[in-house]
Amino acid sequence: MLVLAFDTATPAVTAALHDGRQVLAESTTIDARRHGELLAPTIEIVLREAGASLGDVTAIVAGSGPGPYTGLRVGLMTAQGLAVTLGVPAYGICTLDAVAYGSGLSEPFLAATDARRKEVFWARYSDRRTRLDGPFVDRPADVPVQGMPVVGAGADLYPEVLGESSGPPYPYAGSLAALAAERIEAGTPLDRPRPIYLRRPDAVVPGAPKRVTA
């Protein structure tokens, strides 16, 4: 098994390789505006550091969001393209699941990432592997924290409402790859790499022009 995982649903452009036992290489750059420019070089870095080639990869995994449309589609389109080129399966895993897995928590908690517009994407977990609810998008004040720990950049942005974050801010690809490898090894069905959108795109098709009357 050699899993290539990456995520572009947050400001973290992150990629990693996992051989079914451990993370062999991981690279992350925080830049919310250069997903398309940075992803391919990041993949090249982890392949080189692991002493592997694309031809060695047996599965592709991409974070499927939720996240902003522009960044999210970079990772998912790359996953689909590589899967076709290499003839290997491609899977999608909720980005919040990667944040949750990276927390290492074994107690109930929430994971939250920045949704912009003064909102957060969030989900509820019973432990780092098990999502109970979500994902959702809400204003921070409407997230039902109920005294639970909150992990992720959402908490870092709104600590006065969500509390101080007790885990990783982003869905680092090492966590995404490890979670995917666990599920593949266990025979757990994984989703196809399709985006999780919780909002309609900002761009809309222009309507018909208004009639001008004299």
Judged against a pLDDT cut of 60, whether residue 207 lies above it is answered with no
For 29-53, give one letter per residue: b (16+ CB within 10 A) or e: beeeeebbebbeebbeebbeebebe
What percent of the chain clears pLDDT 70, i.e. is strictly above it? Answer: 93
Tell me the pLDDT band of 212, cut-offs 50, 70 and 90.
low
202 has a pLDDT exceeding 50: no
What are 168-177's pLDDT values in tens digits?
999 999 999 9
Task: Pinpoint the alpha helices (H) of 51-158.
Answer: 69-86, 95-103, 153-157
| Section 53-79 average pLDDT | 95
Q: How far apart are CA 137 and CA 121, in angstroms?
A: 4
pLDDT for residue 148 is more than 80: yes
The rounded radius of gyration (Å) of the Cα atoms in the chain is 18
Residue 204's Cβ-side half-sphere holds a number of Cα atoms within 13 Å equal to 6
- Mean pLDDT, residues 119-135: 97
Residues contacting 80, CB < 8 A, separation 6+: 90, 193
E runs forming strands in the chain: 3-7, 12-18, 23-30, 59-63, 90-93, 109-116, 119-127, 130-138, 150-151
What is the predicted pLDDT for the residue at 198?
87
Averaged confidence pLDDT in the chain? 92
Place of tokens 């101080």: 164
**Per-residue confidence at 69, pLDDT binned at 50, 70, 90?**
confident
